[in-house]
Amino acid sequence: MLRNLIIGMTLLVLCAGIPAVSAQMGGDQAWYRIHCNIDGANVYFDGQYQGTTYGGTLDVPVYTTGAPYNTIRVEKSGYQAYSANLPSSPAAGETRDVYATLQPVETAGSIHVTSSPSGAAIYLNGNYRGTAPLTIQSLSPGTYTLEAERSGYRSDLSTVTVRAGQQSNIQFTLTPIEQYGAIKVTSSPSGAYVYMDGVYKGRTPLTLSSVSAAKHNIELDLANYYDWRSTVTVSPGVTSYVNAHLTSIPSETAGVIDVVSYPAGADVFLDNRYQGKTPAAGVYTISNVPVGSHTMRVALSGYQDYTTSVSVSAATTSHVTATLQPGQSTTTGSISVTSSPSGAEVYIDNAYKGITPLTVDGVATGTHAVRVALSGYGDWATTVQVGAGSTASASASLSPVPTEAPHAGVAPFAVIGALGILGLSVALRRRD
């Protein structure tokens, strides 16, 4: 009996989705034959389930005496549903064909990647996929990490969301990596003024650091010598060397001045520019002096300055003999200021004078306050004694300002205050 019950239920299930052929023979019955490209699709008339396609078709019986059906919907998971109006009802005993084509649902997306400059290597979730411009196909919906890398540029990272059936677009704009080298400049003779790209940098010998990797124009200037110019290419992490052999101005346009002083050891100034000291025995020679009239000043501490006018002729030597008289000089001197690093602001007696390295002429004799300041570094200050006709030196070694540590706040003070109040409270209670 149980066996018969199982067989009966099985037949009932099998017949539920397949209309009985014998039923088609009824006099008031007709049929819609649903043709579908996908087996296992569910068919609905006016929202009512009619069966499942098998072998490409499903026959749905209708009764000519009943209310007609109007719409059909065919659907299956993974496919777009098909909906349409049913054709007019078939006559009794007839079969009317209806065709439903199901399209698969798009389940993948893509990413189109470009970069500026182009040619960047593209990594998807850490895996190399090619160089931009690039389209990455067949990606499941979700969020992905993209990275772009190119030599000489900073890598860039981004996330992008992929949606089924859609293409996501992303553009990477890469930033060049700033690279630096150095230039070491020497000259023969030394002491020449150095200009890089038209900006004064100091005097030879000189090392220029943190120079951008590119071509730069170097110019050297020294009195009585022709200007010297060159172009140097700086490579990242490399020191380029420039050694300039300066050519003196021909003697046809210059002469020589020999200077002797009594006593010796005096400072020699030509047109208020310091030249050197007279030797203990012999003559101090100034070469390549332009033709014309010049002012010569010889100064020594404890003596009055000796000043005279000197006429210089081409290819000749003019002579100056300075016999210094004891007494206090009332003229001025100079202050030479350097700093490490260079480029710092110089203040003398709180008056701004320029940028290091710097020589300030025309400074009154006596004691002067020198202050050197540079952003990011602590100020440096000293005092110098300026003598008449001499140059006082100040060399500042600047220290970076340490990053200020976070304030501890008022917590310790609050704890101490709380303890004090607690102690006072206990004392008052004891008195009570």
Note the maximum CA span of the chain: 151
CATH topology of domain 251-323: Immunoglobulin-like (2.60.40)
| Backbone φ, ψ for residue 272 (5° rounding) | 65, 15
pTM of the model: 0.33
Domain ranges of the chain: 16-104, 109-173, 180-245, 251-323, 332-397
Q: Are 27 and 64 in contact (CB under 8 A)?
A: no
Assess whether the region 16-104 and the region 109-173 belong to the same CATH fold. Answer: yes
- Among 105, 101, 51, 96, which residue's Cα sits nearest to residue 77? 105
Q: What is the pLDDT at residue 57?
A: 95
Looking at residue 265, its pLDDT comes to: 92
Q: 304: helix, coil or strand? A: coil
Hey, what CATH topology would domain 16-104 get? Immunoglobulin-like (2.60.40)
> Can you tell me the mean pLDDT for 116-143?
94
Per-residue confidence band for 392, with pLDDT thresholds at 50, 70 and 90? confident
pLDDT in tens, 256-315: 899 999 999 999 999 988 888 999 878 898 988 888 999 999 999 889 999 999 999 888
* Residue 370 clears pLDDT 80, i.e. is over it: yes
Looking at domain 180-245, its CATH architecture is: Sandwich (2.60)
Residue (of 176, 179, 178, 206) closest to 190 by Cα position: 206
For residue 299, give the nearest of 394, 386, 424 by alpha carbon: 386
430 membership: H or E segment, kind and range: helix 411-431
Over residues 52-62, the pLDDT tens digits come to 999 999 999 99
Q: Does residue 117 have a cis peptide bond before it, meaning omega lies within 30 degrees of 0?
A: yes
Considering the domain 332-397, what is its CATH architecture? Sandwich (2.60)
Q: Please state which of the four CATH numbers 2.60.40.3620, 2.60.120.10, 3.40.50.720, 2.60.40.1120 is assigned to the domain occupying 109-173.
A: 2.60.40.1120
- What does the pLDDT read at residue 411? 44
The residues with which 36 forms a beta bridge, in sequence order, are 100
29-36 vs 109-116, strand pairing mode: unpaired
The burial class, CB within 10 Å (0-12 / 13-18 / 19+), for 304 is middle
Record the tokens describing residue 330, joined without a space. Answer: 């009332």
Distance of CA 198 to CAs 188, 192, 217, 321, 357, Å? 21, 15, 8, 41, 16
How far, in Å, CA of 169 to CA of 160, rounded?
Answer: 8
**Res 328 pLDDT > 70:** no
